[in-house]
Amino acid sequence: MEDIRNIYCVGRNYALHAKELGNDVPEEPMIFSKPTHALHPATGKLALPGTIGEIHYELEIVVRIGSAYKPGMQADELIDGIALGIDLTARDVQSKLKEKRHPWLLAKGFVGSAVLSPFQPWVGSAAFEDLTFSLVKNDETVQSGSPRDMIFSLQRLVDFIGANMGLGAGDVIYTGTPAGVGPLADGDTLELKLAAGGKEETFGPLYVDLG
């Protein structure tokens, strides 16, 4: 994690997730960022602030950039790793920020808000479409999805972020969350699962501590 430079996140990239929060489906990628001190491994104790209202989990596939973006480059030329992450959101704080038309940073950038599993070798864009991923909370699957349901493709995300904000080695992209987001409670146990080619890998467990 110490080699990560920029953390880009994609909002509302799954139609059912946008619908469950009462949001319109965007016409172009919605990009926000998190500070690197928000990073937390997807195992062990996850200490979160218990004084900011509900904190929601949002499971996502994360890709890592291995080289500098240049216009016209394909995603497979840029990406060198894949992981699972959880974009944690202080939902009450976010709602207040939206009312004031303020940026989301306070709701998205707190310490521990960017959970991230170890990176695996990049599988290629074709195999990426066939991946499935899920989040298990207290032995119950609460989220599941596949990149094939993303509104904006990985290539579209790379082109948009690269052209507007730049992409370089060490940058990561949280590609959006499927439906099923919800609040965390003190004592929750989380596991992240990634399935490909008939094989499933589990990351965690992660123990929630709302101090």
Domain ranges of the chain: 6-209
DSSP codes joined into one string, the chain: -TT---EEEEES-BHHHHHHTT-PPPSS-EEEEE-GGGEEESSEEEEE-TTSS-EEE-EEEEEEE-S---TT--HHHHEEEEEEEEE-EEHHHHHHHHHTT--SHHHH-STT-EEEPPPEE---HHHHTT-EEEEEETTEEEEEE-GGGBSS-HHHHHHHHHHHT---TT-EEE----S--EE--TT-EEEEEEEETTEEEEEEEEEEEE-
HSE value, Cβ hemisphere, 13 Å, CA-based, for 146 = 12
Q: Are 203 and 117 spatial neighbours (Cβ–Cβ below 8 Å)?
A: yes
Asked which of 10-24, 37-51, 173-187, 194-208 is least confident by mean pLDDT, the reply is 10-24
- Cα–Cα dist 56/125, whole Å: 29
Percentage with pLDDT > 70 across the chain: 96
- Predicted confidence band of residue 36 (pLDDT cuts 50, 70, 90): very high
Q: What is the pTM of this model?
A: 0.95
Q: Are 41 and 192 in contact (CB under 8 A)?
A: no
* Number of other CB atoms surrounding residue 11 within 10 Å: 21
Locate tokens 């998205």: which residue? Answer: 108
Burial of 148 (0-12, 13-18, 19+ CB in 10 A): exposed
Q: How far apart are CA 98 and CA 200, in angstroms?
A: 38
In CATH, 6-209 is 3.30.360.10: no
Q: What is the pLDDT of residue 89?
A: 97
Contact 125, 154 (CB under 8 A): yes
Quote the pLDDT of residue 198: 85
Model pLDDT for residues 6-16, shown as the tens digit of each residue:
999 999 899 76
Type of residue numbered 120: Q
Give the residue carrying structure tokens 């940073």. 105
Q: 154 pLDDT exceeds 70?
A: yes
Nearest-angstrom CA–CA distance, 125 and 122: 9
CA distances from 179 to 13, 136, 151 (A): 10, 14, 13
